[in-house]
């Protein structure tokens, strides 16, 4: 379905001095190196994960997974499907109390019920109930519309743009922030856009590249670069200040 762009194979395989004690601004070579190292180690990740598949599930899953594990999200998606609450109209028509019971496993069930309903109303009111109409918008307009919906923040908006609409908007999450900090890469400020800008400024805006890059970061950080990092199992250890013992996590 996706074909890796040739540019991947022209990426840098080296990074700047990993023994620097103070954070340094990452170069294009650094950002290319990280992708290449993870891709060589793990191969394509083929995200977004699915239970039943389809754009509807992807978007609903992006809301339900907020600050919770995917396994919890899966339970909620299965409940919704089994209850035949599997369209924006169905979400809108289902009483709050029923929604609470169905999505309870995903946590924050009251807040997420409101989020799902606000999003369903948005799609029905502004896009004739069809996600394809949202996905057809230019990235900037799509992103602004998504951010206008209560419960859709920057990460969820970019999840939907990248993994739903298949357009290049880099996803920044807690894992992304953690690994960049551990690598000793200085970011101007702590805002979401500061992190995203790094990737947008230094990489070609390619949906496949952004898709795999974010997926590889999450795969790697969830398993290796944990709060207590497993540096003895890390393929980046020889190029990371933490892995080299230069700095502490």
- Using CB under 7 A, list all residues that contact DNA: 47-49, 62, 65-72, 75, 104-105, 107-112, 149-157, 159, 163, 171, 173-175, 189-191, 218, 222, 226-227
Taking the alpha carbons at both ends of the chain, their separation in whole angstroms is 38
Helix/strand/coil for 49: coil
Nearer to DNA, 16 or 51 (CB): 51
Is residue 16 a contact partner of residue 29, using CB atoms and an 8 Å limit? yes
Nearer to DNA, 14 or 67 (CB): 67
Helix (H) and strand (E) counts for the chain? 12, 0
* Least distance to DNA, CB of residue 6, Å: 26
* Least distance to DNA, CB of residue 12, Å: 26
Query: Cis omega before residue 48 (within 30°)?
Result: yes
For residue 185, what are the β-bridge partners? 24
| Token pair 């080299």 in the structure block, residue | 244
* Least distance to DNA, CB of residue 65, Å: 5
* Least distance to DNA, CB of residue 67, Å: 4
Nearer to DNA, 88 or 163 (CB): 163
Nearer to DNA, 18 or 161 (CB): 161
Q: Compute the CA torsion angle 24, 29, 34, 39 (nearest 10 deg).
A: 180
């Amino acid at each position: 379905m996706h074909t890796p762009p040739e540019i991947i194979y022209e990426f840098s395989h080296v990074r700047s001095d990993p023994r620097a004690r103070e954070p340094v601004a990452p170069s294009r070579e650094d950002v290319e190196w990280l992708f290449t190292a993870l891709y060589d180690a793990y191969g394509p990740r083929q995200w977004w994960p699915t239970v039943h598949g389809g754009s509807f599930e992807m978007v609903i899953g992006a809301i339900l997974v907020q600050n919770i594990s995917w396994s919890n999200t899966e339970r909620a998606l299965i409940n919704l499907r089994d209850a035949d609450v599997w369209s924006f109209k169905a979400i809108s028509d289902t009483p709050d109390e029923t929604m609470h019971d169905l999505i309870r496993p995903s946590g924050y069930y009251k807040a997420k019920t409101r989020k799902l309903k606000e999003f369903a109303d948005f799609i029905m009111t502004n896009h004739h109930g069809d996600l394809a109409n949202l996905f057809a918008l230019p990235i900037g307009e799509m992103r602004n519309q998504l951010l206008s919906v209560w419960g859709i923040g920057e990460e969820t908006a970019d999840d939907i743009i990248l993994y739903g609409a298949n357009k290049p908007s880099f996803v920044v999450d807690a894992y992304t922030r953690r690994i960049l900090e551990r690598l000793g890469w200085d970011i101007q400020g702590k805002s979401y856009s500061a992190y995203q800008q790094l990737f947008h400024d230094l990489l070609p805006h390619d949906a496949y590249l952004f898709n795999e890059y974010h997926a590889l970061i999450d795969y790697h950080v969830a398993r290796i670069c944990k709060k207590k990092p497993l540096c003895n199992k890390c393929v980046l250890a020889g190029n990371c200040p933490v892995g080299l013992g230069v700095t502490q996590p």
